[in-house]
Amino acid sequence: MAQWIDISQPLSTQIAHWPGDTPFQYQLTASIEEKNSVNIGNIQTSLHIGTHIDAPYHFSKNGKTVDQLPLEPYIGKAVVLNVSRTDIINAAVLSQMNWSSDIKRVLLHTSLPNNPTRFPETLPYLDPDIAPFLQAKGVVLLGVDMPSVDAPDSKDLATHHALNKHGILILENLLLDTVPIGEYELIALPLAIQGADGSPVRAVIRPIEKEEKLHGK
Ligand SMILES: Nc1ccccc1C(=O)C[C@H](N)C(=O)O
Ligand SMILES: [Zn+2]
Ligand SMILES: [Zn+2]
C-alpha cells in the first residue's frame, strides 16, 4: 500500500502569516524543566495559518461556521492537477484538463513556488468562472497551493463567494510542488471549533494505485 504524503505546511514560529493577522506562536505554559510533571503547550494563531480551510462564515456574515460543515468534502478521492503553466486559471484552462468522472475534490498545483515561511506578493489569478465549471463536474472541495483563492488585496473576495455559491469548500496553502499529478485519497479534516471562521488542517494524500493517471504522464 502506498505511503501517505503530508501536503500541509509545518506550523512553526517561522511560518508566514496573512499580513496584519495574528502570527503563529507556540509556547509552554508549564514545563518539566521548571519542575512541573508535564509540558503544556499553548498556541496563539489566526485560524487562516498554514494549510487551512475557510468556513463560509470567514467571508459571509450568515455563512456556515467550521463546526457546521460536512465531513465528506474533506475525506475521499481527489485529483491533483497541474496548472502551473499559466498565471490566469479560469474555466477555459480547467476545461483543457483530462476530467475523469466522479472527481469531487480538486487540488490545484499552481505556478506559485510553495514556501511556508514567506507570504507571497502576488498570486496566480483564479477566475470566479471556475466555480460553475467545477460544480458542473460535481466538485465539492477546491484545494490550492496558495494562501488565498483571491488576490491578497482583494476586497470583494469574488472567487471565495463564487465557490461558496456553487457549493464548493475551500482548502488553502497546500504543499504541492513535488506532488505528481494524478488521483489520490485525501484527508484534510478541520477541527470542530464552535462558531469559527476556519481551521488549520493536516492535509495528507495517498496515491490510488492501479488507476490510470490523468494526463497520461
Ligand atoms: N486573514 C485575513 C485578514 C484580512 C483579510 C483576509 C484574510 C484572509 O485570511 C484571507 C484569505 N483568503 C484566507 O482565507 O486565508
Ligand atoms: Zn483562509
Ligand atoms: Zn480564503
**What pLDDT is attached to residue 20?**
97
| Cα–Cα distance measured from residue 57 to residue 59, given in angstroms and rounded to the nearest whole number | 5
**CATH number of domain containing 151:** 3.50.30.50
Q: Whose CA is nearest to atom 12 of ligand 1?
A: 148
pLDDT digits (tens), the chain, 217 positions: 899 999 999 999 999 999 999 999 999 999 999 999 999 999 999 999 999 999 999 999 999 999 999 999 999 999 999 999 999 999 999 999 989 888 999 999 999 999 999 999 999 999 999 999 999 999 999 999 999 999 999 999 999 999 999 999 999 999 999 999 999 999 999 999 999 999 999 999 999 986 444 554 4
Query: 46 and 72 in contact (C-beta within 8 Å)?
Result: no
Pick from 51, 126, 145, 148 the residue to mutate for probing ligand 1's pocket: most ligand atoms within 8 Å of its CB: 148
Pick from 17, 45, 48 the residue to mutate for probing ligand 1's pocket: most ligand atoms within 8 Å of its CB: 48
Q: Is residue 51 part of a domain?
A: yes
Backbone phi, psi, residue 143, to 5°: -110, 140
Q: Is 161 annotated as a binding residue?
A: no
**What pLDDT is attached to residue 101?**
81
β-strands 52-54, 169-172 pairing: antiparallel
**What pLDDT is attached to residue 212?**
45
Distance between Cα 71 and ligand 2 center (Å): 18
Residue 19 CA: which ligand 1 atom is closest? 3
Q: Is residue 217 part of a domain?
A: no
Q: Is residue 106 part of a domain?
A: yes
User: What residues flank ligand 1, with Cβ below 6 Å?
Assistant: 18, 21, 46, 48, 54, 58, 147-148, 150, 172
Which of 52, 80, 56 has its CA nearest to residue 163? Answer: 56
Q: How many domains does the chain have?
A: 1
Give me 17's grid cell.
Answer: 502569516
Catalytic residues: 58
Give me 96's grid cell.
Answer: 483543457
Dihedral of the CA atoms 99, 112, 4, 136 (nearest 10)? -30
Contacts 24+ apart (CB under 8 A), 152-159: 152/18, 152/19, 152/119, 152/120, 152/121, 152/122, 152/123, 157/59, 158/128, 159/126, 159/127, 159/128, 159/130, 159/131
Residues across the chain: 217
Domain of residue 55 covers 5-212
Q: Is residue 198 part of a domain?
A: yes
Distance between Cα 27 and ligand 2 center (Å): 24
**What pLDDT is attached to residue 210?**
65
Q: Is residue 139 part of a domain?
A: yes
Q: Whose CA is nearest to atom 7 of ligand 1?
A: 18
Q: Is residue 199 part of a domain?
A: yes
